[in-house]
Structure 1
């Protein structure tokens, strides 16, 4: 029952925010990076954040979440608040990065750090190295989720997928809370979006995924690669695009439309089609993780699938 209530809170808040943003003319303008053509209200991620933190407190007082995970996830409120003001006032990149760094440090502190990074044949247990790695991973996950929040339903469906996959593989009612918080928003963002998530939502989701990755990796080192596979649609696209732009000697701070999902829409695919195919790809990746117990084999198969998909996208719209 509580999860239905959380869905209704998210659903209702998104509706209220949508109408308020329209009334106040607070809409996302169309620019060179946009994948939309109609000015649309943004800030729907506020509903996700509020619902998410309400759900977190419920789990905490009901004794359904471990204390260290609760505090690490709760620290994400900092990135949500700052991103909320960024959506309105466009804060400087330097300030955003400083806040992200502080949030990464805070999250790692509450989790007790990042213990082991395994590569199968050897493990890295030097806590200086593992925590520096985790620090940059958190910042990268925050930003790459923000980079790939660009078309209807894409970021929201990714979050719901990761929440459902996390629940299937690891259990934990925090995944159900996340799914309900995003689903209520996703109703208004699906297909022909009536509102966008904004940084307040996308940065929080990226932070949450990073925290889940570290938390479950501390329980079992190979879980790191499970999350890397589950999240590969996003990190592979963002990372490869960044590398390609660097090799092209582009100024990385400039807006662009070269991510895989953007190139598919340029090739004529609708937002609806791109989002649905990404969901199908995610389900395939979950099946690989679920049915292939050998994590090394799962990594190889997943990587081959992602590379084949990227080749397909390059054929549809060349990276230039």
Structure 2
């Protein structure tokens, strides 16, 4: 049953990475989509697609007399917990790839590989302690495999898995219907709990990796960012007495239209500099610019002048080498674009 989910995992990983590959995710971020809403949306889509399969499997288990003694609602809970963990696992796979087809192939291989340790756990289960099983169950396919093993043992005993014995130990085989294994205190309820824990851990690792190593697009955060106050409470600081005119040292006596200082200053960019690490190519050199409310600003220039790079930095796609940016008189550089929108 675990292996039957390979196609679903590969398809989900491919769909998520395809958004990244085509920069659809970044476009949605520019429009105000947050990372949290993005992942919740994918989780909702996955569960909605999987839920009918879980329902029909429970019906088949019961009416086809495959698990005629067990409560189908418990089987539904076990399958839902496994789908929760599998979805988190697909999220984790997706953050390591930028090509959709490669991600689908590798995701399926990784998923299959994580199931292989269950054969070892099943072989040496009688000699494994609870904490050993707990560590093994950090792999969701192993936790699900152990859970189905406990279901089959109760089914062999003719009592099936019920809500009153879901936390009880099971006999190792049909010959031992009364006495359980001497050191076997693991149960189906623990396996279900571990599946939910696995799903949460996978999502947390994916969340952390996406912030610290966002890939080609995005503003990377330091590895300790979860322990900073600025991440949870915001880092914007009011910029009092911010000058509206370009700083000294800028080019003067240039014939150009005077700035509309009677309008409210929306965005002030000072000394933007961007140097790409590959080849040390200078893309933007000390650009200072003001954006005023009720005006439409456009960039003109030859190819390679830095127009796209500047807009990408303002939108949070690329980190600047150095810059100071004020958004509505709040210091916002470096910034993810969502923070600028909420400023």
For normalisation by structure 1, the TM-score amounts to: 0.30
Greater per-residue helix proportion: 1
TM-score, normalising length: structure 2: 0.29
Report 1 or 2 for greater relative contact order, CA contacts < 8 Å, sequence distance ≥ 6: 1
